[in-house]
Amino acid sequence: MSKENSKIPVEKLGTGIEGFDLISQGGLPKGRTTLITGTAGSAKTVFAAQFLAEGIRKSNEPGVFVTFEEHPAEIRKNLLSMSWHIQEWEEQNLWRFVDASPQPGHETIESGEFDLGALLARIEYAVRSIGAKRISIDSLGAVFTLFNNATLVRAELRRLSAALKGMGVTAVMTAERTQEFGEIARFGVEEFVADNVIILRNVLEAEKRRRTIEILKFRGTTHQKGEYPFTVLPDQGIIIIPLSAIELKQRSSGMRVPSGSPEMDRMCGGGFFRDSLILVSGATGCGKTLMTAEFIHGGAKKGEKCLLFAYEESREQLLRNANGWGIDFEALERNNQLRVVCAYPESAGLEDHLISIKQEIDSFKPDRVAVDSVSAMERVGTNRGFREFMISLASFVKHREIPGLFTATTATLMGGPSVTESHFSSITDTIILLRYVEMLGEMRRGVTVLKMRGSMHEKEIREFTIDHQGMHIGKPFRNIVGILTGKPEYLNVESMDRISGMFQD
Amino acid sequence: MSENEKFLLKLYITGHTPRSERAIKNLRRICAQDLDGRYEMRVIDILEQPQLAEDEKILATPTLIKVLPPPLRRIIGDLTDTEKVLLGLDLLPMELKL
């Protein structure tokens, strides 16, 4: 076998854990042992169990779960919340427990030399009896607490590791660590157990918990480096968000779709591109939700399916507002042309929001999607978490090859950039600015297409008005400068002439 | 504990290794010295009957389980430390216990 191994590169076993196979470039090294370390509450046991559960669900591969900590009955019960029916799998010989958890009344007396041969024999028996391909051992630290002699335990674990290799199973072992950053695991287990180490973290950052996974090493094979955020969801378990592992491979088409406003279509040189991301930025109340509604309406008129995520208004408010602009969202929903998802940003973490957005898109299969507003999410996570959220959301929507319209609220009334913009502008294809313009003691509204990749677009700032029929884009502001900086200034006719004269001979 | 109470002892081993043989020999010696025929001793090889080890949740070998008389006790090791074995079998007076 070792002769084969020296020639064939390390094969990988797809785990089936969402996102993991991407960041690990194919899964866990096949036939080897991988150590999963993390502090208390870092989802080690979930990872260990999910490794087996996905094997059963996705490739019908039986698995053995060796538990040193929790009693099997507890594990069965806890994992039922993930909809993993372990008991049924046990009956079908797809899952087997090796129960090495502390037994009440089993306090033992040590007299002379011993080894963990019985444990090894039981594991081997379990693996052989169901033909297991995967094995999870949770957790190594607990083994040390069972026996006084740490040296012996260490030697025995090394023997176990070697035995697992002989059985041809792909193994996951968990181990505790006391700090998020520091030694890899307690008792130095990583030194003798595994060629492969994965670290799960659950870091408190600015009062928010952020879970990440990092593949520290895979001996003899490649993987993505660095930390990736993940979340643990009921019914699904661990879902990893493979940020930078996302490939920029979406196709690009020249196909245009209506923006919902004929004037806006003209400003953009014929509508939005079908597979583009549009960022609409503006201060509060200057018409972002309206543009969103127009965008939805424009799609619906063409018979498209639209999905709207609203994070600033309740459903009722949104329907009422849309009605005020002459757009009947309820009728569209009845026709199954629209789905409105309203959520309070604080109701979940960013990772959870991201996953629920993905799931809505996957299940509704919209032809266009709008998020009003993405900047509401800034409140929920850390700066870094938010940036990851935006990038991940953007690339996900792009992969669907559907237009996505996102709105962002600027911090100040008269303009200026928002956090959302600075994180997001480079990955958006189109940026539309909505701005208040103070004119003769009156607040007017202006709109301009700041950028549009791959297309000519108007450079003017046009005035627009809002009435019961929606948005009306009118003439450009000709004699005002400084709208974007928030300090509009009038130019009288003479200075206008002078400026135009400057560029002529 | 009355004098005629019978001991049921199960010794779990993994194959007939020197350590297993040592445990068997030690147990026989202790039983002969202190139990004088009032015992039944079974040696179970886990390699042959792994399910029994699973049922008893045995991790280490050799493991000696005192099934009878109650309470149930487990002693792991090759039983070279006779005092510990006697302690585990409740054959030592209370004041000597560690």
CATH T-level topology, domain B7-91: Glutaredoxin (3.40.30)
**What is the complex's ipTM, to 2 decimals?**
0.89
* Least confident range of A105-109, A292-296, A454-458, B92-96: B92-96
The pLDDT score that the predictor gives to residue B91 is: 81
- How high is the pLDDT of residue A3? 44
Q: What is the DSSP letter of A412?
A: B
Give how far B61 is from chain A: nearest CA, Å. 6
Q: Give CA–CA dist A43/A65, Å, rounded.
A: 16
The model's pLDDT over B39-68, given as tens digits with 9 standing for 90+, comes to 899 999 999 999 999 999 999 999 999 998
Q: What is the pLDDT of residues A330-367, one digit of tens each?
A: 999 999 999 999 999 888 888 889 888 988 998 999 99
Give the residue-averaged pLDDT of A77-85.
90
CA distance A190 to A2: 22
| Under 8 Å between Cβ of A48 and A137 | yes
* Residue B89 touches chain A, beta carbons under 8 Å: no
First-residue to last-residue Cα distance in chain A: 84
**pLDDT exceeds cutoff 60 at A245:** no
B61–A contact, CB cutoff 8 A = yes
Query: DSSP assignment of A3-46, as one string?
Result: HHHHHSPPPEE----TTHHHHTTSSEETTSEEEEEE-TTSSHHH
Quick check: is A88 catalytic?
A: no
For B81, phi then psi, to 5°, come to -85, 90
Given A54, A156, A312, A388, the catalytic residue: A312
Q: Could you tell me which residues come within 8 angstroms of residue A279 by beta carbon, excluding any fewer than 6 positions away?
A: A406, A407, A408, A420, A421, A424, A425, A428, A430, A431, A432
Please tell me the predicted confidence (pLDDT) of residue A122. Answer: 94
- For the stretch A19-59, pLDDT in tens is 899 888 889 999 999 999 998 888 999 999 999 999 999 99
* Euclidean distance between CA atoms B20 and B61, whole angstroms: 8
Q: Is the pLDDT confidence value at A2 over 50?
A: no
Q: Is the pTM of this model over 0.90?
A: no
Q: Residue A261: pLDDT above 60?
A: yes
Residue A97, pLDDT > 60, answer yes
pLDDT, residue A252, reads: 66
Which is it for the CA torsion A66, A69, A73, A77, positive or negative? negative
Q: Which of A157, A197, A199, A263 is nearest to A44 (CA)?
A: A199
Which amino acid type is present at position A395?
A: S
Q: What is the per-residue pLDDT for A294?
A: 92
Pairing outcome for strands A430-439 and A442-452: antiparallel
Residue-by-residue DSSP string for A297-352: HHHHHTT--EEEEESSS-HHHHHHHHHHTT--HHHHHHTTSEEEEE--GGGS-HHH
Say if residue A179's pLDDT is above 90: no
**Coil/strand/helix, residue A146:** helix
- What are the φ/ψ torsions at residue A379 (nearest 5 degrees)? -65, -30
Q: Cβ distance A185 to A37 under 8 Å?
A: yes
Alpha carbon distance A283, A306 (integer Å): 25
Of B19, B51, B74, Cβ closest to residue A108:
B74
Q: What mean pLDDT comes out for the span A116-123?
A: 92
The DSSP string of B7-41 is EEEEEEESSS-HHHHHHHHHHHHHHHHHTTT-EEE
Residues with Cβ < 8 Å from B36, sequence gap 6 or more? Answer: none
Best to test chain B binding among A111, A124, A148 (most B CBs inside 10 Å) = A111
pLDDT, average across residues A296-318:
92
> Considering only A179-183, A307-311, A326-330, A357-361, which range has the smallest mean pLDDT?
A179-183
Task: Pick the closest to residue B41 from B85, B2, B98, B96 (CA basis).
Answer: B85
Q: Is the pLDDT of residue B12 over 90?
A: yes
Contact B80 A113 (CB under 8 A): yes
pLDDT averaged over chain A? 85
Interface of A with B (CB under 8 A): 98-100, 103, 105-122, 124-126, 146-147
pLDDT-derived band at A242 (thresholds 50, 70, 90) equals confident
Q: What H or E segment, with its residue span, contains residue A208?
A: strand A208-218
Asked if A113 lies within 8 A of B47 by C-beta distance, the reply is no
Domains in chain A: ranges and CATH: 9-245 (3.40.50.300), 256-478 (3.40.50.300)
How far apart are alpha carbons B92 and A105 in whole angstroms?
20
Whole-angstrom distance, CA of residue A389 vs CA of residue A385: 6
Q: Is A90 a catalytic residue?
A: no
User: Looking at per-residue confidence, does A373 or A107 come out higher?
Assistant: A373
Say whether pLDDT at B13 is over 80: yes
Contact A403, A272 (CB under 8 A): yes
More confident residue, A253 or A328: A328
Cβ B46–A118 below 8 Å, yes or no? Answer: yes
Q: What is the per-residue burial (b if ≥16 Cβ within 10 Å, else e) of A138-153?
A: bbbbbbbebbeeeeeb
pLDDT band at residue A415, thresholds of 50, 70 and 90? low
CB contact under 8 A, B54 and A105: no
Phi, psi dihedrals of residue A108, rounded to the nearest 5°: -110, 155
Confidence of residue A1 (pLDDT cuts 50, 70, 90): very low
Residue B35 pLDDT > 80? yes
Q: Using the beta-carbon criterion (under 8 Å), do B80 and A115 form an inter-chain contact?
A: no
Which chain A residues are Cβ-neighbours of B22 within 8 angstroms?
Answer: 112
Q: Do A121 and B50 touch (CB under 8 A)?
A: yes
Say how far apart CA A290 and CA A329 lie, in whole Å.
13
> Percent of chain A, pLDDT > 90?
36
Question: What does the alpha-carbon distance between residue B21 and residue B19 come to, in Å, rounded to a whole number?
Answer: 5
Helix (H, G, I), strand (E, B) or coil at A94: coil
End-to-end CA distance of chain B: 20
Q: Is A148 helix (H, G, I), strand (E, B) or coil?
A: coil
Residue with token string 């090493």: A217
Q: Among A170-179, A201-210, A303-312, A459-468, which is the least confidently predicted range?
A: A201-210
Residue A296: closest CA among A369, A359, A360, A361: A369
Residue closest to A452 by CA, chosen among A434, A471, A428, A417: A428
- Please tell me the distance in Å from B3's CA to the nearest CA on chain A: 24
Can you give the C-alpha Rg of chain A in angstroms? 29
> In chain B, whose CA is at the least distance from the CA of A97?
B54
Asked if A293 contacts A470 with a C-beta cutoff of 8 angstroms, the reply is yes
Mean pLDDT check: name the lowest of A23-27, A160-164, A391-395: A391-395
